[in-house]
Structure 1
């Protein structure tokens, strides 16, 4: 058995489901090279499966939107300070922040100033908004791991050591999805038209998208009663909140009247089974693209927050497929534009236009190939170099 002196200590923090997935793959990639490794920090179920000792549940950190973060600032700052003090005392070989830049960059800056190497996994979207953060990144990050090919040049020019590792989702999602297997798994007819509705995993996404999404389904069901609708729920808490919002909107019987099937988890099966998808902005839109599905993107936040952020972006797109394509390959409906009528019309087009379907399959297949790398190996190699164990 290895003595405590031989153990390689690594600290990691993920604040959301996507970061949990990314960090877990990195941990799996490191284990063959560091059999004596110990992981601590904050993470979700996938990181726990890889052996992480988590200081607090990851859900404690999962907050979306500027105003919700401000309301919980003291709580989150307290968690950050306690973790910082522990890591300064324990001196891990490196700290790895998996996305969640608002929390992780501040922590990384303090740890790096104290001589602890820092790796940040998934570059903050400085190419989309708040490009001034590159100065803080230079101070905070010893090595940046990026998941989109165009990001490498941005960090190289800024003088930040960087490695493009590919996107882990491009490895986990098949190049050719098995639609029939997904439909059998979900109990859906093989020949039905299927629309997947994805209101998001964050409570704030569900808050602002549930009513317009359900009313969109209502309009589409009236247009073609044979269409089947499925909605993956990220967890019991999200499902209960979704149902509560449906009731508050005066639609308590609507789910029974329409062929809308709520699915516990299984988001990838729900996407694979679909002919078209209505998705909240974020990683889900990239997942839909990698499954080669026509989609409509919708994004809504608290009005006060929208007034703050609407002119802060550098790009005309918010959906990852459009950002990667540098074009509006799929429609986006933001804030007041995300009406049930507009969404229903756009989803109907995505569902029924065969030329559009063929065009998107070709674009999304090219996108898939561009993102395909062995991300676990590439990210592990970069971390091993940072800690001097390559």
Structure 2
């Protein structure tokens, strides 16, 4: 079996699927490209997952030849080896092109997490029809979209809804971080990728500094994806002259979210994690200016944050590109911290969202894959 994930979120999704497949295929061998979670499940990764991680439209240009070379080498290897199936975990720019070539060569293909054709680039449905033998979707409204397009599809729920408890243990999270139960905590999540940190670390740090001026007792918790990210973020804090604020860098993002009273978070899968932890949040997003000028004209809906997309309304604030200033972010987080009634309403809505996404994703995704390799 061959699998490719290009980002942290895809690594988590694919590992969940592998865990569901293992009891049914105890002797299966997995190889491709993935991260630590997939490797824990037995994947032999041809290259480190970080090699594929690129953010934005123009940011990929300097690395296009390198990434295209990885794709071509993997394609040639898989066409020679003939795996039982290829599973692409998200990362559609890379995986759909690979899947199209593999399927044309007679290898069944599964794409895990439908590309957001409902949000932008709807024309990709034609490529999906050619590339994908079976689509696994994680949001309930997606199933009908692919069914109408003639793409075999299974709604499996979102794996995060299974791993995050319906009622998070705030006290345990704070105790593990050495934070008092009555402290006010803001969790700051500028992203797991260096490309995100490049654009968001400094404004997020400065927003934290502004909040600390308003309430010197505030505690800030910042989950970091690795040592490189930790070192970069620490340097930004030092450059901003904010070493004196109560800021703690941690490894576990879920503990950091569970401990929070409010969260400042980069747009992406992390926004859904925050919603599943039932936390008020402010979503921010910044990329290269040229990428933004193109992307802002390509969207089909007014929201970019997953909680707002699922709710079909602005449940939480979104500050995008030029609007994502330290002052605006600090003001929005401050409002979230002090709006008790709003926090209760959000918790209720996010609990409903959690239930709608809760399925046995490992079993359902494994069943769909087995249906392809054992028709």
Q: TM-score, length-normalised on structure 2? A: 0.99
Q: 1:78 aligns with which of 69, 89, 93?
A: 69
Query: 2 CA distance for matches of 1:32 and 1:230?
Result: 38
Q: Summarize deviations over 1:96-145 as a string: whole Å, max 9, x none.
A: 00000000000000000000000000000000000000000000000000
Preserved contact between residue 148 and residue 167 of structure 1 (Cα < 8 Å): yes
SS at match of 2:248: strand
Query: 2 CA distance for matches of 1:321 and 1:159?
Result: 28
Q: Summarize deviations over 1:311-342 as a string: whole Å, max 9, x none.
A: 11001000000000000000000001011111
Query: 1 CA distance for matches of 2:286 and 2:319?
Result: 9
Tell me the equivalent position of 1:7.
none
Tell me the equivalent position of 1:16.
7
Query: 2 CA distance for matches of 1:217 and 1:59?
Result: 28
Q: Summarize deviations over 1:32-56 as a string: whole Å, max 9, x none.
A: 1112211111111111111111111
Tell me the equivalent position of 1:259.
246
Structure 1 vs Structure 2 CA RMSD: 0.9
Q: 1:292 aligns with which of 265, 275, 278?
A: 278
Query: 2 CA distance for matches of 1:277 and 1:330?
Result: 11
Q: Summarize deviations over 1:204-232 as a string: whole Å, max 9, x none.
A: 11111111111111111111111111111
Question: CA offset at residue 27 of structure 1?
Answer: 0.6
- Structure 1, unmatched stretches of 5+, are 1-9
- Structure 2, unmatched stretches of 5+, are none
Tell me the equivalent position of 2:308.
322
Tell me the equivalent position of 2:187.
196
Query: 1 CA distance for matches of 2:281 and 2:374?
Result: 44
Tell me the equivalent position of 1:379.
365
Tell me the equivalent position of 2:159.
168
Q: 2:335 aligns with which of 349, 352, 373?
A: 349
Q: 2:205 aligns with which of 195, 214, 218?
A: 214
Q: Which segment is superposed worse, 276-285 or 380-389?
A: 380-389
Q: 1:332 aligns with which of 298, 309, 318?
A: 318
Query: 2 CA distance for matches of 1:381 and 1:144?
Result: 12
Count the aligned residue pairs. Answer: 375
Preserved contact between residue 207 and residue 245 of structure 1 (Cα < 8 Å): no
Q: Summarize deviations over 1:144-188 as a string: whole Å, max 9, x none.
A: 000000000000000000000000000000000000000001111
Question: CA offset at residue 303 of structure 1?
Answer: 1.0
